[in-house]
Amino acid sequence: MSNTDRIIRLKTVLARTGLSRSTLYRKIADGTFPAQIRISVHGAGWRESSVERWMADPVSYREERAGSHAQ
């Protein structure tokens, strides 16, 4: 895994993961893929480290939601 935390854009995420755009956004909605972060008014990207963490174990990856607590 990389020590850097670069922001990568959609085309790069799709190329690295092999997911289609619709599958990627469905997984984000389900919490099984890292959510994108805002980088400008009209731009968003993903933390490279989050995408790498998903790639290391895509089956059991779960996004930690703000405000949700495991009990």
Q: Which residue has the higher pLDDT, 42 or 67?
A: 42
Q: Break the chain into its structural domains and give their ranges.
A: 7-56
Position 54 scores a pLDDT of 97
For residue range 6-61, list pLDDT tens digits in order: 999 999 999 999 999 999 999 999 999 999 999 999 999 999 999 999 999 999 99
Distances (CA, A) of 15 to 2, 68, 70: 17, 31, 33
Tell me what pLDDT residue 23 has: 98
d(CA 51, CA 45): 11
**Per-residue pLDDT at 1 exceeds 90:** no
**Model pTM greater than 0.85?**
no
